[in-house]
Amino acid sequence: MDQQYQPEKIETQLQQQWEASQHFHVTEETNKEKFYCLSMFPYPSGALHMGHVRNYTIGDVISRYQRMLGKNVLQPIGWDAFGLPAENAAIKHHVPPAKWTEDNIHYMRTQFKRLGFSYDWTREITTCQPAYYRWEQWLFIKLFEKKLVYKKNAIVNWDPVDQTVLANEQVVDGRGWRSGAIVERREIPQWFIKITAYAEELLNELDNLPGWPEQVKTMQRNWIGRSEGALIYFAIENNLENTKEKLSVFTTRADTLFGVTYLAIAPQHPLAIKAAKNNPEIAKFIADCKQIPTAEAAIATAEKRGIATPYFATHPLTGEKLPIWIANFVLMEYGAGAVMSVPAHDERDHAFAKQYHLLIKPVIKPINNTPWDYDAAAFTEDGILIQSGEFSDNLSADARQKIIALIQKKKLGERQIHYRLRDWGVSRQRYWGTPIPMINCAHCGTVPVPEKDLPVVLPTDVIFTGATSPLKTLPEFYQTTCPACGKIAERETDTFDTFIESSWYYARYACPDQNKKMLDDRANYWTPVDQYIGGIEHAVLHLLYARFFHKLMRDVGLVKSNEPFKNLLTQGMVLKDGSKMSKSKGNTVDPQPLIEKYGADTVRLFIMFAAPPDQGLEWSDAGVDGAHRFLKKLWVFCATPPSPSPSLSSLLAPDIARRRLHEILDQINFDYARQQFNTVISGAMKLFNLIQECDKTISQEGLSILLRVLFPVTPHICATLWQALEFGQAGQTIEIEKAPWPVVDKTALKTTTQQFVVQINGKMRGQITAINNATEENLRELIYAEPSLAKFLAGKTLRKMIVVPNKLVNLVLGE
């Protein structure tokens, strides 16, 4: 055994062995409990950053720990390989996206291997390969047949100079990132998947995910945004055309119905468009509204603007005549695209009413009679109804039910539940993605590509001349014949949102070699994922889409479970000087030179020790150095034969040493179970200190425990030391991974004696052993009876005695 700790040497040696024997390959063993551990797969951006290192180290620690508990552990890895950066690199460096992606994967794979992650490399998935994406094309067609996908017009960012659609990230301050041209909004036909059909299940099933952080579940609940309310119909008076029309509005506050003083409709509402027909002022207003972004957040902060239409509506209960306005804050996509405005009880309506001098009529008063000036501000809480006919004096909550019931009875509206969640628009006008498997025929309309013709392969040998997707200019790609009528037709040249690839990869890892179907029964063995690990930034989109896809796959008969991820750990960010590491801030730390200098174990140890996994981790060079020193000391301790026994009185009494050993182990096991790995490591450090203070037998027991509990974090050094010290021998050495996880010896915890360090006037002079709960009297007797202490006590008077329970007695002596 080398006297020096040489991480590079021991780590690469082990890694080569793992590689050669496909050490972490697993199959579906039925006699063992399975454990599927997955860290969110990376986008192959070029090289690993610290956030990656943290994410994947956490996953590896959990995997190795679960393996040692005797479970059949699957830990796979792959590449989320489609996406915009590859296109940007292609334009900048004149290298095809496929080549750029491949090179990055190659480098990052080497980095993963050098970090010693225990992946089953036989299952590696790369989403830009036809063998993978063909199955999402297949599923998309199944969903088309089930009427769960549809095409409709939607707005995109259009760059008039580059003549191309831009992704949101490519619009900088309202201008195209390359051309600098002012971006326009254009409507083009796009594909949508009906996630709204699953809104209710996606919401309700959150209650069955106790292993998810509350915060993530709350974010998803808000995103889905269930609102209980009613659709209320208002008759439109149109004396000009003498037609009877109705205008529906969605409200969650039916209790405020008597306070409606005007109606507001979205600029895209059919009635608004009708009003614009022979009114240039209204037409101009609607056109101006197109300038502001559609994002909800932008609308919320934009100035409230509106214009009156020539139409009026009739109040369904009072018969009052109400003006109809067009307002820029009403969203066409939500509810009915129209609102009954109650300025006394809604802030936006109030601001709007003040601005355009519309009536404000209070109909709810505060329960506790707090004075309130309705002209100055809206009162938006529930309260008691006033000026509301037969409903006056009711509480808001009761009035809502009663008013909806009446409206429903009179057929003037209906109870309704609305979701904020919109259908998922999956068309991207980009090249580097999965081709949408549809064909547009002038005679038959949209026709799906027949199953036998899948996959629709993305050509990879392309040159980017500008920003336009090469698919749109490659006749070899888009020219085809219609599968229905055989005439010349054109393929869809849009590609899928890359969130589709990441919505089902976790299931494909179970059967990556299956080329007859999307998933086979192995997916039912491995899924749901027992532990999923990733960043909080994926709390909503990725995690919601993956939950949705799992249900879609369930409903076409591919999986049996309802949810994809049983437990979720959202790891905290890696910070430097208190802020997130990022290229734009120039405060990143590259893991590669650290791995080269200190070895993988040091980097893994530091990153797991510096903070609990779900919290922010402050980068510290000194911390890395400290982690390295600890491993070096551990190595040297194991490599050096123990020096002839140190003065016996400095050693811990054996039963006490064992009790401490097992107390620490108890805590470590507890911390492993609750995934608090930083305190697992401080426990291991305590063990190491203890080992150096006890006799050979207990020190050996301690070391064998220490190596095993530290193994998931720093596998290379622990495996090597374990082997060198020939632990686990019963005729033959067993590998550390196969050694049983250390269990706490309950009898050791019951030791009846305690050990105390004895200080005299602040100086350590020896030790005594006392029974549990010894009194001060007992301790004093023991100290005065201890021969090795006699010389320090002789002729002095005891002034004071300070006892630190279970640890220390300090005697203050005087002349």
Site of interaction with Zn ion (CB under 5 A): 441, 443-444, 482, 484-485
Query: Is residue 289 a contact residue for ligand ANZ (CB under 6 A)?
Result: no
Distant-in-sequence, close-in-space partners of 624: CB < 8 Å, separation ≥ 6 = 594, 598, 602, 603, 606
252 contact, one of ligand ANZ, Zn ion, none, CB 5-8 Å limit per kind:
ligand ANZ
Least distance CB 594 / ligand ANZ (angstroms): 48
Local structure of residue 787 (DSSP, 8 states) = G
Residue 123 CA to residue 116 CA, distance in Å, equals 17
The residue (of 125 and 342) whose beta carbon lies closer to ligand ANZ is 342
Answer for which of 248, 252, 620, 704 binds ligand ANZ (CB under 6 A) is 252
Of 517, 504, 502, the closest CA to residue 553 belongs to 504
Cβ-proximal residues to 326 (8 Å cutoff; 6+ apart), any chain: 264, 265, 266, 267, 269, 272, 275, 282, 285, 286, 306, 307, 308, 309
Burial (CB < 10 A; 0-12, 13-18, 19+), residue 644, is: exposed
Select from Zn ion, ligand ANZ, none the partner in contact with residue 443, using the beta carbon and a kind-dependent cut-off of 5 to 8 Å.
Answer: Zn ion
Using CB distances below 5 to 8 A depending on partner kind, what does residue 345 bind out of ligand ANZ, Zn ion, none?
Answer: ligand ANZ
Among 126, 190, 251, 571, binds ligand ANZ (CB under 6 A): 251
For residue 189, give both structure tokens. 């036909």
Min CB(299)–ligand ANZ separation in Å: 8
Give the interface segment with ligand ANZ, choosing from 132-140, 246-254, 454-462, 806-814 (CB under 6 A).
Answer: 246-254
Nearer to Zn ion, 482 or 691 (CB): 482
CB of 444 to Zn ion, least distance (A): 3
**Closest approach of Cβ 150 to ligand ANZ, in Å?**
21
Q: How far is the CB of 540 from ligand ANZ (least distance, A)?
A: 17
Helix (H, G, I), strand (E, B) or coil at 194: coil
Residue 482's binding partner among Zn ion, ligand ANZ, none (Cβ under 5 to 8 angstroms by kind) is Zn ion
Residue list 223-242, contact with ligand ANZ (CB under 6 A)? 227
Distance of alpha carbon 350 from alpha carbon 284, whole angstroms: 25
Side chain identity, residue 734: I
List own/partner pairs for 535-539 with CB under 8 A and 24 or more apart.
535/40, 535/51, 535/55, 535/570, 535/571, 535/573, 536/215, 536/216, 536/570, 538/40, 539/215, 539/216, 539/219, 539/220, 539/570
The least distance separating ligand ANZ from the CB of residue 225, rounded to whole angstroms, comes to 6
Our finding on whether 134 is near ligand ANZ (CB under 6 A) is no
* Coil, strand or helix at 153: strand
Q: Is 418 in the site for ligand ANZ (CB under 6 A)?
A: yes
Q: Give Cβ neighbours of residue 323 (< 8 Å, ≥ 6 apart).
A: 262, 263, 308, 309, 312, 358
Nearest partner of 764 among 752, 756, 753, 772, judged by Cα: 756
Question: 86, 97 in Cβ contact below 8 A?
Answer: yes
Query: Smallest distance from the beta carbon of 384 to ligand ANZ, in angstroms?
Result: 14
The smaller minimum CB distance to ligand ANZ, of residues 140 and 374, is found at 374
540 binds, among Zn ion, ligand ANZ, none (CB under 5 to 8 A by kind): none
Helix (H, G, I), strand (E, B) or coil at 328: coil
Spatial strand order of the sheet with 72-74 comes to 72-74, 34-39, 529-535, 565-571
In Å, what is the CA distance from 706 to each residue of 698, 714, 739? 12, 11, 13
Question: Distance between CA 529 and CA 37 in Å, rounded?
Answer: 6
Our finding on whether 400 is near ligand ANZ (CB under 6 A) is no
- 74-82, 103-111, 252-260, 505-513 -> range binding ligand ANZ (CB under 6 A): 252-260
Over the window 318 to 337, marking each residue x when it contacts ligand ANZ by CB under 6 A and - when it does not, the resulting string is ------------xx--xx-x
Task: Determine if 268 is a binding residue for ligand ANZ (CB under 6 A).
Answer: no
CB closer to Zn ion out of 275 and 441: 441
Of 311 and 352, CB closest to ligand ANZ: 352
Under rule CB under 6 A, residue 250 binds ligand ANZ: yes
Specify the 3-state DSSP secondary structure of 115: coil
Q: Is residue 353 at the binding interface for ligand ANZ, with CB under 6 A as the rule?
A: no
List residues near ligand ANZ by CB under 6 A: 227, 250-253, 256, 330-331, 334-335, 337, 339-340, 342, 345-346, 418
